[in-house]
Amino acid sequence: MNRLQFDDRFRVFALACSVAVSVILLSRIVMYGINRTMTVASLSVPRWGGVLLSIGIQQGVIFLGACMLFLRWRGLSTDWLGISRPDIRGGLWIIGGWFGTLIGVVVVSVVVVFGVGMLPAQNKIGGVIASDPMIVTLLIPLMIFVVGPSEELVFRGIVQGTLRERFGPISAIGLSSLIFASVHFYSLTGAPLQRVLSIGLLLVPALVLGTAYERTGNIVVPSIIHGFYNATLLWLSYLSMKFSPETAFVGTLWFW
Q: What is the pLDDT of residues 18-73, one digit of tens each?
A: 999 999 999 999 999 999 999 898 888 888 888 899 999 999 999 999 999 999 99
120 vs 195: CA distance, rounded Å:
6
Give the Cα-Cα-Cα angle 161, 171, 187 (nearest 5 degrees). 70
Domain ranges of the chain: 3-254
Which pTM value belongs to this model?
0.92
CA angle 175, 222, 30 (to 5 degrees): 75
Distance CA 69, CA 137 (A): 32
3-state secondary structure of 189: strand
Ordered per-residue pLDDT tens for the chain, 256 residues? 666 666 789 999 999 999 999 999 999 999 999 999 998 988 888 888 888 999 999 999 999 999 999 999 999 999 999 999 999 999 999 999 999 999 988 888 888 777 777 777 777 676 677 777 788 889 999 999 999 999 999 999 999 999 999 999 999 999 999 999 999 877 777 777 878 888 888 999 999 999 999 999 999 999 999 999 999 988 888 887 777 655 544 454 445 5
CA distance 161 to 159: 5
Distances (CA, A) of 159 to 35, 210, 240: 29, 11, 35
Q: CB under 8 Å to 205, separation ≥6 — which residues?
A: 101, 104, 105, 226, 229, 256
pLDDT tens per residue, range 42-53: 888 888 888 899
Most distant CA atoms of the chain, gap in Å: 60
